[in-house]
């Protein structure tokens, strides 16, 4: 069997977080009743004229700079002509040959190896509306159309075909999402469609320089779906070639339920759209000073922040990478460390218990009811020995579920650690008296037997005895 390799490029659409649409004053708010955020401009009624929203251009430049792109000094809008019921004008205003930003790149790390992925271009365009179906698109008896999304500003970020596996594609999209989120130009919520990803995939025999015929994969709405869909599509194309057949250039969709990609339509070429400059919109002349101003307003981006967390707090690379996946998470971490200066312990709690509970409840860091100050307070109680490590987990869980202060939880549940030597001594005596067999085993040289006795003391104090003191007292008595 010949060896094949995959070539993958991604096209990512990001909805920009402006208050109004790209060419009119209609609201971009998500979740309104259908067709409530519309006006003659975004409905494409005759005689109306679009006016470009300056904030959109600023955000597109900001994203381009964050992705190491060159910003055009002259850019324009074009009409991309096609018919679809969610597109009331029968053309989409987009950018064709003179996009706002080009020639960028970002860095990914897969299995410990760094790789630079090229960014071909970033261009601005308007979003289309949305067709709403009862059930699935192929079985529904009718379609409804919602134009609220029509004219919501998008940037499309097109990568070079620099990726060769589903892992690399996912790493690229994760990094892209983090960078865009840090800039604040989009919230990048995949579940709300503000980050959407298409993938161009082809395979070719190893050693061949010419690219194979590609298929474009649409409708992947999570990182998991992206990974599964790309893996499936690579396999499918390899099998087609193995069978001596040809891959067809087409658009395919990912069927999550069946776990397969399906053909949707043959792939259009740029000339099918008959692009031409939009006569209603003047070209954009971008002043260098403006670009410099926007550049100066860029926040610290994920890669820089990761490096700083390593050097400032002595964190392992892995921790720093996890903590900087979103700006909110990194902020949460740093706010907590500021109040409780043990960077690694804070990281352990965030990456351990907090991440586990967030996963289980489907929360993001912004939804978490434990504030950084509350986490710091809990760690102080642990540090002072007021609560044991085991109790801390219970306290933390209660804080997560109720948003209560750690001190309040400890008090209400009577969870203060017992460090009273007299009290512990009494329980230790009882446990020794009740477990002669284990005592005998220990004295006969079975070191492990002491673990059982410690466990019994903890059990009878409901986990509240100071474990260090329990160990010490037990040893003293048994070694006598």
**Interacting residues with Zn ion (CB under 5 A):** 24, 26, 39, 41-42
Taking the least distance from each CB to Zn ion, the nearer of 127 and 334 is 127
Closest contact distance (angstroms) between CB of 17 and Zn ion is: 17
Show the CA angle centred on residue 207, arms to residues 202 and 213, nearest 5°. 20
Residue 324 vs residues 242, 329, 354: alpha-carbon distances, Å: 42, 7, 15
Structure tokens at 263: 């053909």
Burial 208-226 (b: 16+ CB within 10 A, else e): eeeebbbbbbbbbbebebb
Q: How far is the CB of 49 from Zn ion (least distance, A)?
A: 12
Report the C-alpha gap between 97 and 362 in whole angstroms. Answer: 42
Measured distance CA(300)–CA(143) in Å, rounded = 45
Question: CB-wise, 92 or 219, nearer to Zn ion?
Answer: 92
Smallest gap, in angstroms, from Cβ of residue 288 to Zn ion?
Answer: 32
Residue 41 Cβ, how far from Zn ion at the closest point, in Å? 5
Q: Are the beta carbons of 381 and 406 closer than 8 angstroms?
A: yes
Residue 88 or 343 having the CB closest to Zn ion: 88
Q: Which is nearer to Zn ion, 48 or 357 (CB)?
A: 48
Q: Cα–Cα distances in Å, from 295 out to 19, 117, 178, 206, 427?
A: 22, 22, 18, 41, 66
- Smallest distance, Zn ion to C-beta of residue 40, A: 7
- The DSSP-derived string for 381-397 is HHHHTSS-HHHHHHHHH
**Bridge partners of residue 201, in order along the sequence:** 8, 215
For Zn ion, the closer CB: 49 or 282: 49
Residue 272: half-sphere exposure toward Cβ, Cα within 13 Å: 6
| Residue 124 beta carbon to Zn ion: minimum distance, rounded to whole angstroms | 16
Give whichever of 24 and 453 is closer to Zn ion, judged by the CB atom.
24
Least Å distance, CB 126 to Zn ion, is 10
Q: Which is nearer to Zn ion, 28 or 186 (CB)?
A: 28
Q: How many CB atoms lie under 10 A from the CB of residue 310?
A: 15
């Amino acid at each position: 069997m010949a060896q094949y390799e995959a070539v993958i490029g991604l096209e990512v659409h990001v909805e920009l977080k402006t208050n109004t649409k790209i060419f009119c004053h209609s609201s971009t708010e998500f979740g309104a009743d259908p067709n409530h955020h519309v006006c003659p401009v975004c409905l494409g009624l005759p005689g109306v004229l679009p006016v470009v929203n300056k904030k959109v251009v600023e955000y597109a430049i900001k994203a381009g700079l964050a992705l190491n792109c060159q910003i055009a000094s002259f850019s324009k809008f074009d009409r991309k002509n096609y018919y679809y019921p969610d597109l009331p004008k029968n053309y989409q205003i987009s950018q064709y040959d003179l996009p706002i930003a080009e020639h960028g790149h970002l860095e990914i790390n897969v299995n410990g190896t760094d790789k630079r992925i090229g960014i071909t271009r970033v261009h601005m365009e308007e979003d289309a509306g949305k067709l709403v179906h009862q059930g699935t698109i192929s079985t529904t008896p009718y379609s409804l159309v919602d134009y609220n999304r029509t004219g919501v500003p998008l940037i499309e970020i097109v990568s070079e075909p620099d990726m060769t596996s589903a892992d690399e594609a996912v790493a690229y999209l994760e990094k892209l999402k983090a960078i865009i989120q840090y800039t604040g130009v989009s919230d990048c919520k995949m579940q709300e469609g503000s980050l959407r990803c298409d993938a161009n995939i082809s395979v070719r025999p190893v050693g061949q320089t010419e690219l194979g015929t590609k298929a474009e994969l649409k409708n992947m709405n999570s990182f998991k779906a992206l990974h599964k869909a790309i893996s499936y599509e690579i396999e499918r194309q390899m099998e087609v070639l193995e069978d001596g057949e040809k891959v067809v250039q087409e658009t395919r969709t990912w069927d999550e339920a069946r776990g397969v990609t399906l053909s949707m339509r043959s792939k259009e070429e740029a000339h099918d759209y008959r692009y031409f400059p939009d006569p209603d919109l003047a070209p954009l002349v971008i002043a260098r000073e403006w670009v410099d101003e926007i550049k100066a307003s860029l926040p610290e981006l994920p890669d820089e922040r990761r490096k700083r967390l390593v050097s400032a707090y002595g964190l392992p690379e892995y921790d720093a990478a996890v903590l900087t996946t979103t700006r909110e998470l990194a902020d949460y971490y740093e706010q907590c460390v500021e109040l409780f200066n043990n960077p690694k312990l804070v990281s352990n709690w965030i990456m351990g218990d907090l991440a586990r509970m967030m996963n289980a409840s489907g929360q993001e860091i912004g939804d978490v009811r434990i504030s950084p100050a509350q986490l710091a307070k809990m760690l102080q109680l642990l540090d002072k020995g007021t609560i044991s490590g085991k109790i801390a987990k219970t306290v933390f869980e209660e804080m997560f579920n109720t948003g209560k202060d750690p001190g309040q939880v400890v008090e209400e549940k009577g969870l203060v650690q017992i460090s009273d030597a007299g009290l512990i001594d009494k329980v230790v005596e009882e446990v020794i008296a009740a477990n002669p067999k284990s005592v005998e085993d220990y004295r006969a040289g079975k070191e492990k037997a002491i673990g059982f006795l410690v466990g019994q003391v903890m059990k009878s104090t409901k986990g509240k005895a100071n474990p260090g003191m329990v160990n010490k007292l037990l040893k003293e008595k048994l070694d006598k």
